[in-house]
Amino acid sequence: MRILNFGSINIDYVYRVDQFVKPGETKTCQSLTINAGGKGLNQSIAAARAGNTVLHAGLIGSDGQFLADKLNLAGVNTSLMARATGVSGHAIIQVDDDGQNCILLYGGTNKQLDETYIDQALERFGRNGLVLLQNETNLVGYIIAHAHQRGLKIALNAAPYGPMLHDYPLDLLDWLIVNEVEGAEIACCSEIDEILPALRARYPKLNILLTLGKRGARCLCQDQLTTIGSYQVQAVDTTAAGDTFTGYFLYGVLHDLPIEASLKLATAASALCVQKVGAADSIPAKTEVDSAIEQDLLGPLGRGV
């Protein structure tokens, strides 16, 4: 099944620091790198590297040609992408010595989608496939409603969390993909264990993937709960780990793999991702993921919580 990703596209300015800068502090960083990123772009590349057929829809500014080139090089079809006036979206990312990140986003052209552009992209995509979304573009609710009208399957990675998520027609989704922060905010609860039951009660038909970082992931699909732990690898940069998980998990789901196998594939792919610096550039190819699993290169897989 093909994927149409109405995805954000960012220029990532990555500042390496020993610790994140604190309020009121001025800090000198160790290095700056400028990479292709954006949750949308990363997820398109992860989904394509996993083996999906992916079309990316989204807007770039005059500074963004290298972002489209990056997608093309990864095998993503960019024929639905367009140029807009203004600058492309960008992210200011601090990565600390533990490989953790904190991210400041500027929406840029990611926030300039309009209804005409969306309708045309949906029309050109056709009626068979899955629409993938994140929460870094505008008109997410509109895309959900119109993709649903066309009979398309829909997966939303509700990242980053924003209050507008409560206004989207989440009941029309096939898959909601959240981490614990996003899940707790959408479900209006404070404990991890409450997230899936609360979301299930509110959206009975929704399949939900809850990612928990080093603690693994939980998946509730057609009332079946599956959990997985994680590989205990040394992270140098966790940027795009969640995006890698999403792209690879969707490969499993769209190719009718059992949920357990889809989770294992996604977990292995993100374990490889965190061991490299960068966003899109750190997403592994399927052959690497398969051999890491087959040859046990990632060590033991922890038990799910």
Binding mask 119-138 for ligand RIB (x = CB under 6 A): -----------------x--
Give the DSSP per-residue string, 111-159.
G---HHHHHHHHHHH-SSSEEEEESSSS-HHHHHHHHHHTT-EEEEE--
Closer by beta carbon to ligand RIB, 33 or else 226: 33
How many other CB atoms are found less than 10 A from the CB of residue 294? 8
Range in contact with ligand RIB (rule: CB under 6 A) among 7-15, 120-128, 211-219, 257-265 = 7-15
Is residue 239 a contact residue for ligand RIB (CB under 6 A)?
Answer: yes
Is residue 39 a contact residue for ligand RIB (CB under 6 A)?
Answer: yes
- Write down the catalytic residue from 243, 281, 290, 296: 243
Question: What is the Cα–Cα distance from 158 to 211, expressed in whole angstroms?
Answer: 12
Total residues contacting ligand RIB (rule CB under 6 A)? 16
Q: Which residue is nearest to ligand RIB (CB)?
A: 37
Among 37, 58, 64, 252, binds ligand RIB (CB under 6 A): 37
CB of 33 to ligand RIB, least distance (A): 12
* Burial classification of residue 60, based on how many CB atoms lie within 10 Å of its CB (0-12 exposed, 13-18 middle, 19 or more buried): buried
Among 10, 179, 262, 267, binds ligand RIB (CB under 6 A): 10
Contact (Cβ atoms closer than 8 angstroms) between residue 103 and residue 93? yes
Closer by beta carbon to ligand RIB, 129 or else 183: 183
Q: Is 174 a known active-site residue?
A: no
Is residue 240 a contact residue for ligand RIB (CB under 6 A)?
Answer: yes
Question: What is the Cα–Cα distance from 93 to 11, expressed in whole angstroms?
Answer: 10
Question: What is the Cα–Cα distance from 271 to 290, expressed in whole angstroms?
Answer: 12
Among 12, 182, 185, 237, binds ligand RIB (CB under 6 A): 12
Tokens of 136: 């870094």
* Burial classification of residue 75, based on how many CB atoms lie within 10 Å of its CB (0-12 exposed, 13-18 middle, 19 or more buried): middle
- Helix, strand, or coil (residue 214): helix
Is residue 246 a contact residue for ligand RIB (CB under 6 A)?
Answer: no
The torsion angle over the Cα atoms of residues 61, 62, 66 and 72, rounded to 10 degrees, is 60
Closer by beta carbon to ligand RIB, 81 or else 122: 81
Catalytic site residues? Answer: 243
Binding site for ligand RIB (CB under 6 A): 8, 10, 12, 37-39, 42, 91, 103, 105, 136, 239-240, 242-243, 279
